[in-house]
Amino acid sequence: MKTYILHIFFIGLFSYNCNSQNSTRLYLPLEVIQYNTNVNAPFSVTELSQLNEVYGASLDKEILSRPNRVLAMKNLLRNRIVIENRSKPKDQKKCTLLSEVPLFDAFVSTLQRDSVFNSQEFNPLKYAFSFYSRGEHMYRVDGTDYFIIVKSQHSNNR
């Protein structure tokens, strides 16, 4: 009986050590966010229009009056979101469809999805993409060869 209890104890201890080592690997410190110099320029007319469409009357309170959020938004819009047309099947991969991504309508309840995708006029802020999770994320525009890539804010390959 003592051997059985001792055996259970060591299995539990071993499991705890394995789990704590794995969780250490999962939660390594993130790199400090490095901003490109292009975030120093003021918002463009297009960027302000995109922000206003999504934040409406709350734009000043939620973004414009908060310098860190201004930087984050400029970085997101200018450096981290890429729209690519990948017509070769070998360049395409299975990923979440744009129609499966919820709208980010927390500030403007009447926000609607685009009925037709136009890469030049697309507002990525309208969608609840994984902007701030670890790693890069890719989404496919339904029925097209367009892919929306959201780069990690912690990667240096901009």
Whether 26 maps to a domain, the answer reads no
Decide if 142 is inside a domain. Answer: yes
The dihedrals phi and psi of 21, each to the nearest 5 degrees, come to -70, -40
Within-domain flag for 111: yes
Q: DSSP secondary structure string, 83-105? A: EEE--SGGG----EEGGGSPB--
Q: Is residue 23 part of a domain?
A: no
Between 91 and 62, residue with greater pLDDT: 62
Do the domain assignments include residue 8? no
Asked whether residue 82 is assigned to any structural domain, the reply reads yes
Which pLDDT band holds residue 13 (cuts at 50, 70, 90)? very low
Q: Are 97 and 110 in contact (CB under 8 A)?
A: no
How sure is the predictor about 51, in pLDDT bands with cuts at 50, 70 and 90?
Answer: very high
The pLDDT value recorded for residue 1 is 54
How many angstroms from the chain centroid is the CA of residue 123? 14
**Structurally, how many domains does the chain consist of?**
1
Position 76 in a domain:
yes
8 A C-beta contact, residue 149 and residue 76: no
Q: Judge whether 93 lies within some domain.
A: yes
- Identify the domain containing residue 42 by its residue range: 34-150
Considering only CA atoms, which of 79, 76, 93, 86 is closest in space to residue 127? 76
